[in-house]
Amino acid sequence: MNWGSYFFSFHGRINRAKLWLFIPIVIAIEIVYFILFSVLFGGSIMAILKGGPGGLMAGGASLGLSTILTCALILIVVYTGVALAVKRLHDRNKSGWWLIVFWLLPFVINCAILANAIGAMHDSAGAVPMTDPVMMVLRLGSFALAIWAFVELYCLRGTVGDNRFGPDPLAGKV
């Protein structure tokens, strides 16, 4: 398998197994990253927490570097996740634009729900109205989209034979 194409290309098709493979790979990368993070930056973070302003001066540069590295890792994981999801959608003979429905739309809906909950915390009663019918419909819609995306990407077999996005990744396999 060409790992560069697997992680970073938006062209072609991948089967369900190759999409599922991404999960343990990301978990392993994150475990290694957080172990290295703890070893390299743990002392700096403890200095910041225990040392007050002097600790902040001692650990501030390390904290900035750790933030940059964490953001870079997040961007790489998101990019590769999108690339793999697009190729998986191609295997289902769907355009990569379906990710707007599967990922962006639920994100926007959940942001609206969160904004409503935060706004409700500042009302006169101070209670979050969890039974607001509009918010309940939005929560249900977001959940339904997540289930649909999971089934579409992780459970259903791709189209048999060649399609407009390339050859069948399971051609010749049972």
DSSP codes joined into one string, 49-83: HHHHHHHHHHHHHHHHHHHHHHHHHHHHHHHHHHH
Under 8 Å CB-to-CB from 8, ≥6 apart: which residues?
A: 79, 80, 83
User: Per residue in 90-141, pLDDT tens?
Assistant: 999 999 999 999 999 999 999 998 988 887 777 665 555 566 788 889 999 9
Predicted confidence at residue 27, as pLDDT, reads: 96
Q: Would residue 95 be called left, alpha or beta, if left means φ above 0 and alpha means ψ between -120 and 50 degrees? A: beta
Predicted confidence at residue 36, as pLDDT, reads: 85
Query: Smallest Cα–Cα separation from 17: which of 82, 67, 94, 84?
Result: 84
Q: Would residue 11 be called left, alpha or beta, if left means φ above 0 and alpha means ψ between -120 and 50 degrees? A: beta
Spell out, as residue ranges, where the chain has pLDDT lower than 70. 42-62, 123-131, 173-174
Record the tokens describing residue 53, joined without a space.
């302003």
Predicted confidence at residue 61, as pLDDT, reads: 61
Query: Which residue is it, tokens 């915390």?
Result: 121
**Threshold 0.85, pTM exceeds:** no
Predicted confidence at residue 121, as pLDDT, reads: 74
Number of Cβ within 10 Å of residue 2's Cβ equals: 7
C-alpha count within 13 angstroms, C-beta hemisphere, residue 173: 8
C-alpha count within 13 angstroms, C-beta hemisphere, residue 77: 16
C-alpha count within 13 angstroms, C-beta hemisphere, residue 5: 6
Record the tokens describing residue 49, joined without a space.
């927490």
